[in-house]
Amino acid sequence: MQFATIEPVRAQQRLSWIFHLALLTTLCAGAGIYAVSKGTDANWDLKNYHLYSAYAFVSNRLFFDIAPSQLQTYLNPTFNLITYYLMVMLNDYPRLFAFTQGLPAGIYGFFLFRIGILVASATLGRTLLAYACAVVATALGLTGAGFAAVVGTSTNDIITGTLCLAALAIAIGEVANPSRRHWRLALSGILAGIALGVNLGHNVDKQRRPGREQY
């Protein structure tokens, strides 16, 4: 009887893993193709400091070049190193570079869906309506002007957001289904801390200055 009970549970878990893997693959492929359709990234921040800060870090130029990118010269270059090395390795393959730049958007969408299904299931149960609500929420999140505009770019907004969403998804999952695995909550805190520490510029509110228009 025990084996008869365990097998359906394992089969359900297996199907869940397959579904989520297929969803992640589809979202990443779609985001990569969308990034390619937009063309190779050439935004102002990339030209100003994203590429330079990584180069300066790798080449030990930080104490020789005096603030060529203004204050941004001294921001944490960790995420910019990803762009720098991708550009070095894929410089002769701009479409492949654009595709890889779009992949974080797919991961972002995956965690957005996970949060949506966790929240919807808490109210509606594991029903088709809950999945429909999660799909609608994910679609709204991925098609907004603020998100779509930075897919495939080096702004690192999406990478920071992905870390925050991953941390939130883990925390909500533990609240919904406590497993007493404290390392999961620790991982949630670590991911949120990395997002804050590595990309500090996105988390600091700009103070209003007299005589300057705020955007």
Q: Give me the domain span that covers residue 20.
A: 2-40+94-202
Q: What is the mean pLDDT of the chain?
A: 85
DSSP secondary structure string, 109-131? HHHHHHHHHHHHHHHH-SSHHHH
| Of 129 and 179, more confident | 129
Q: What is the pLDDT of residues 21-31, one digit of tens each?
A: 999 999 999 99
Tell me the pLDDT band of 184, cut-offs 50, 70 and 90: confident
State how far Cα 200 lies from the chain centre: 15
Examine residue 53 and state whether it is found in any structural domain, yes or no: no
Q: What is the pLDDT of residues 107-129, one digit of tens each?
A: 999 999 999 999 999 888 888 99
Q: How far is residue 84 from each of residues 102, 143, 152, measured CA to CA in Å?
A: 15, 27, 14
Examine residue 35 and state whether it is found in any structural domain, yes or no: yes
Q: What is the pLDDT of residues 53-109, one digit of tens each?
A: 899 999 888 788 888 888 888 888 889 999 999 999 999 999 999 999 999 999 999
Examine residue 75 and state whether it is found in any structural domain, yes or no: no
Examine residue 161 and state whether it is found in any structural domain, yes or no: yes
Examine residue 65 and state whether it is found in any structural domain, yes or no: no
Examine residue 98 and state whether it is found in any structural domain, yes or no: yes
Number of domains in the chain: 1
131 Cβ contact list (under 8 Å, min separation 6)? 117, 120
Tell me the pLDDT band of 205, cut-offs 50, 70 and 90: very low
Examine residue 84 and state whether it is found in any structural domain, yes or no: no
Rounded (10°) CA dihedral 36, 42, 45, 51: 90
Burial of 179 (0-12, 13-18, 19+ CB in 10 A): exposed
Give the H or E element holding residue 153: none
Examine residue 46 and state whether it is found in any structural domain, yes or no: no
Tell me the pLDDT band of 6, cut-offs 50, 70 and 90: low
- Please give the radius of gyration of the chain, using alpha carbons only, rounded to the nearest integer: 21
pTM of the model: 0.85
158 Cβ contact list (under 8 Å, min separation 6)? 104, 105, 108, 147, 150, 151
